[in-house]
Structure 1
Amino acid sequence: MWRPFRFARLGFAGRDGAAPGPVLARTGPALLGLALGVLALGPALGPGFALRYDMVFVPNPPLRLNDGFPRAVPSDQVVALLSALLPAEIVQKLILLGLFVLAASGAGALARDVLPGGGIVPRLAAAAFYAWNAYLAQRLLIGQWALLLGYAGLPWAVRAAARGGTVRLAAALLPAAAGGFQAMLVSALTVLPVAALRGRGGGGGGRARAVLSSVAPSLGVVAVLSLPWLVPALVPVLRADAAADPAGVAAFAPRADGPFGTLGSLLTLGGIWNSHAVVPGQDMPALAAVRLALTLVAVAGFVRLGFVRRPAWWPGLAAAACAGVLIACAGAFAPGVPRALIGWWAGFGPLRDGQVYVAPFALAQAVGVAVAVTALRAAMPAPVAAAAVAVPVLVLPTFALGAFGRLGTAEYPEEWRRVQAVVNGDPAPGALLSLPWSAYRAFSWNGGRVVLDPATKMFARPVVWNDALVVGTGGGGQIRVAAESPRARRIGALLAGPAASPLTGPLTREGVRYVLAGGVDENTFLSRLPGATPVYRGRELLLVRL
């Protein structure tokens, strides 16, 4: 049984009895999130599109599905619908700022629920930590904004799952549902334990029935909201037509991004596999040591909350945080387990990027920071305690200003828009093949930043592209991850055939109507496409109709 006097000893009741105004108390975390978003995005809020790795927004995006695993379903469709109302570049900026506002306000609300007398400072501390940490920074720098929709909505989903009610939970999970498969998987990992462990009941069968009755409605909500991506994902998997290369486990395993190794990186919410997604200067020993110390304080605060007050969502969030860290550690320290699962069934493919699942651990730490700051307010002068709100920014300062310029904006050259208009204006069916045969490009007009081929998003017809990946290792080697799309695998084999072999017939039989090529020798290129008609020639792009 929780005893109020024990809670007060930790300073969870306000010392001075003063409380902020009700408007400030409720909007303070959201306003802080907006300020942090502006500070973090910096140049990415300028004119044009922010294009980096998987973050690809295009002008006038179409409504359509693509080949392969539906990683961008329904996020691409949501963006297309919103872009019918606002310019696509404005939609992107609103989404990116919204991530910070939603994350900060949710963490603040969760802290308010368990620290009702602690004042606004602990809520702001939780908001700052959840909206400014290595997890959010690295996933933003690798362009996974759709995943971050689920991360940002996670505090709201936890509150809804603990309170019960399918409508409330469905509303809280809408950001994750818009984000798609990764966002929903991270949310399910968190929401289902919270719903299951909030139940009360006796031992044995009574306890089991209580857990089942608690989790069943939440499981139903998660399943229904996952249908847009789950159905197109499971159909090829059940047909055994999909491929998930177990080599992806080694390619996407967590890696050390600081002086404390892979485990230390994961505990401080980093450890992403792509070194170019690491915040500049993140490996500085002094800052890394402070972040690790902050992690220990946050974990201690979260554990203490479980002993002192134990809110309804605490057991489930604790279980989800532990499970997420274990999944991440499996890829780094026990890769045979996820490799075996993926080899047995392609549906386990999402386990390969295990660092994704430390999101609930980030939320647990944010709550723990609020608990620690509340205790600090009871022991130290108010200005000292209030300064703790700035600590998350101070321990990761180079996330500011677009990670010191790693995020920026660019305008698409006019030839991209012209090609888009030609292809989308053709009512005849058929796919578009995008060349060169590589997933990622570095365009001069994008400041040399690496980005997923924009052709994958621009056209109102299926686009065939090379979804195989080549990931470099620390020792200078490479790990090749096979393509997931069956058609991409077949066309890749055609392209790798003899240099003189004609491609027009085989590509036509694969349902290809257009070939879009960038940076190729036109004569050599057209020699392999006899009978094809050049439709558009630009400085960078060549569009051919078969």
Structure 2
Amino acid sequence: MTAPLLAPGYLLLRDAVSTPKAYLTDAALGLTEAAPRALPQDFFVAVASHVVDGGVVVKLLLVAGLWLAGWGAARLADVVVPAAGLAGQFVAATLAVWNPYVAERLLQGHWSLLVGYGCLPWVAVAVLRLRGSGDDATWWPVLFWIAVAGLTPTGLMLAATVALACCAAQGTGRSRPWCAAVSLGAAVLGALPWLVAPMLAGSLSSSQAAGVPEFAARAEPGLGTLGSLAGLGGIWNGQAVPDTRTTLFALVATAVLLVVVVVGLPTAVRCPGARPLLVLAAVAVIAPALMATGPGLAAVEAVVRAVPGLGVLRDAQKWVALALPGYAVAGASAVVTVARRVPRGAAAAVCCLALIAVLPDLAWGVGGKLASVQYPPGWTTAAALVNADPRPVVVLPQASMRHFPWAGDAPVLDPLPRWVSADVLTTGDLNIGGRTVPGEGTHARAVERLVLSGSGVEELSAAGVGWVVVEGREGPQLSLPVAFADDDIAVYRVGGDRPAASHRGIAIAAHLAWLAAVLAGAAGMIAARRRSAVH
């Protein structure tokens, strides 16, 4: 699935951006006008990229997320449906890794979301063990997996939801309130970076409500919205979809996936640990479908306007990830359901091969669309210029997404903000289906207008602009002092500056608290395992 990424280069595909190095800028700490969508991942990559190349860091995390999803699904099947054995674990692992949700999120570039996705079955295992017996189970795994999933806000919210659902499972171990308190405590600790940042920067706004219809789940050919979501597809961006899901073959693929799941339901529902996961899976499919209806869209818009921090709800299809634990358990249970008529090994082989056969283009980087990219030499020179004198940067052309001929056919987020130690003024505007969904960057928008109107050095400097960078060959020619230019990028020196955001120390402390949760959870798990081995 990720083999093309093993080649030298960087992941650049839509929302996925990796650079040789990243820095702890105000944007990386969430102290800008934009909502803190990429915390604490930007912090982590910035720190890690000073030890290992940033492109390698992102690739390793992406591969690790998918690996954890498969391994975790097998582990969950072993805990919840032990009768399924190794055969059922194979089915659970295949279903968790080889499905439309993974393919679409790879094409959308949501590598950090897939890290959170990979943590979900592990969160379920940790909480179910607490509820089940509690004898040798500790709360350290709950802290660790929720914190790791918290690499992105959505991942943490998904993990916390799975944890709370598992608290409802039957068991003779720790009480439901105790498990819920541990889960919520871990979630709050993991969420500190993006809970604190908006309060420091005042970055939350209701402007995100404008994009709710554009981000609604999408119906695939031959399937309604509900059917697409039940088949783990239906991402809002029709361009980030495997080729086989753009035809009526999507109907066949969805039928195969659902048959594997439905066949296992009679066995799964008899397992106490599976019931809350199955209920959660049903909600995870039905709720986004309702959110895509007229009344649903109106309700989401109203919620986002009333509580701006809930703009994360816009991309409704990503919440289908909550179906993973339930689907994995049901898939594993399928081999038990048919065990009287079909040997378990044969049933598992048929299920696994069928799941792979109906989504063949997930292989080799989703049909070669996921690949390593090399930056042109001019980009390295431009980044070095800015890093030698890190003043605020304005980047043209406008809008957040770029088309670079050297980066493939798909658009990509501007890589420059992650490659320079200066703050890059970005509007966050997105063009979706010919309509512009405005971002939160009002100051950046005003400065862009100044640049495009032909303002000189003095006026731009007074507005706090230090550099103007024009990316690509189609950008405007400016009457400003040229520091560097080639066919791929041009850098203009202005010389203005703006003070760094206040409260950087508090923001860094919040990120360190998240990192401490990850490390403490890992240390606690290792210590508990050693004690268990001794006894």
CA distance in 2, matches of 1:506, 1:195: 59
Deviation at 1:174, TM superposition (A): 3.3
Partner residue in 2 for 1:447: 408
Aligned pair partner of 1:112 in 78, 94, 107: 78
Aligned pair partner of 1:232 in 197, 201, 205: 197
CA distance in 2, matches of 1:240, 1:463: 16
CA distance in 2, matches of 1:245, 1:410: 31
SS at match of 1:434: strand
Letter in 2 for 1:186: L
Of the structure 1 ranges 337-346 and 164-173, higher mean CA displacement relative to structure 2 is found in 164-173
Deviation at 1:487, TM superposition (A): 2.6
* Aligned CA distance change for structure 1 residues 525 and 294 (closer, same or farther; 3 Å): closer
Instruction: Normalising by structure 2, report the TM-score.
Output: 0.83
SS at match of 1:470: strand
8 A contact 1:193–1:320 mirrored in 2: yes
Can you give the 5+ residue segments of structure 2 that lack an aligned partner in the other structure? 131-137, 495-535
8 A contact 1:280–1:403 mirrored in 2: no
CA distance in 1, matches of 2:489, 2:398: 14
Equivalent runs, 1:101-250 vs 2, <5 Å: 101-164=67-130, 165-178=138-151, 180-197=152-169, 211-236=176-201, 239=202, 242-250=205-213
Partner residue in 2 for 1:544: 492
CA distance in 2, matches of 1:135, 1:280: 14
Partner residue in 2 for 1:354: 316
* Aligned CA distance change for structure 1 residues 53 and 374 (closer, same or farther; 3 Å): same
Aligned pair partner of 1:366 in 312, 318, 328: 328
8 A contact 2:23–2:420 mirrored in 1: yes
Of the structure 1 ranges 166-175 and 316-325, higher mean CA displacement relative to structure 2 is found in 316-325
8 A contact 2:215–2:314 mirrored in 1: yes
CA distance in 2, matches of 1:382, 1:299: 17
Aligned pair partner of 1:256 in 201, 219, 224: 219
Letter in 2 for 1:316: P
Q: Does 1:63 align with 2:19?
A: no
Partner residue in 1 for 2:478: 526
8 A contact 1:199–1:211 mirrored in 2: no
Partner residue in 2 for 1:20: none
Letter in 1 for 2:11: A
* Aligned CA distance change for structure 1 residues 362 and 84 (closer, same or farther; 3 Å): same
Equivalent runs, 1:281-430 vs 2, <5 Å: 281-286=244-249, 288-299=251-262, 301-302=264-265, 304-306=267-269, 308-311=270-273, 314-333=274-293, 334-382=296-344, 384-387=346-349, 388-426=351-389, 430=391
CA distance in 2, matches of 1:347, 1:537: 40
CA distance in 1, matches of 2:459, 2:124: 51
* Aligned CA distance change for structure 1 residues 526 and 291 (closer, same or farther; 3 Å): closer
* Aligned CA distance change for structure 1 residues 315 and 115 (closer, same or farther; 3 Å): closer
8 A contact 1:424–1:460 mirrored in 2: yes
CA distance in 1, matches of 2:343, 2:268: 23
8 A contact 1:327–1:351 mirrored in 2: no
* Aligned CA distance change for structure 1 residues 268 and 355 (closer, same or farther; 3 Å): same
8 A contact 2:280–2:326 mirrored in 1: no
**Deviations 1:85-126, CA, capped at 9 Å, x for gaps:** 322333233222212211100000000112324321110110
Partner residue in 2 for 1:457: 418
Deviation at 1:490, TM superposition (A): 3.5
Deviation at 1:517, TM superposition (A): 0.9
Aligned pair partner of 2:241 in 262, 265, 278: 278
Equivalent runs, 1:20-35 vs 2, <5 Å: none
* Aligned CA distance change for structure 1 residues 354 and 539 (closer, same or farther; 3 Å): same
Partner residue in 2 for 1:34: none
8 A contact 1:196–1:214 mirrored in 2: no
Partner residue in 1 for 2:438: 482
Deviation at 1:405, TM superposition (A): 1.8
Partner residue in 1 for 2:15: 54
**Deviations 1:175-204, CA, capped at 9 Å, x for gaps:** 3122x1111122222222222555789xxx
Instruction: Normalising by structure 1, report the TM-score.
Output: 0.82
SS at match of 2:182: helix
Partner residue in 2 for 1:30: none
CA distance in 2, matches of 1:435, 1:457: 16
Aligned length: 479
CA distance in 2, matches of 1:74, 1:181: 8
SS at match of 1:542: strand
Letter in 2 for 1:175: V
Partner residue in 2 for 1:511: 464
**Deviations 1:488-511, CA, capped at 9 Å, x for gaps:** 343355457xx35x2645543443
Of the structure 1 ranges 55-64 and 321-330, higher mean CA displacement relative to structure 2 is found in 321-330
CA distance in 1, matches of 2:230, 2:81: 25
CA distance in 1, matches of 2:165, 2:483: 55
* Aligned CA distance change for structure 1 residues 337 and 420 (closer, same or farther; 3 Å): same
SS at match of 2:402: strand
CA distance in 2, matches of 1:299, 1:506: 65
The percent identity for this pair of structures is 32
Letter in 1 for 2:192: L
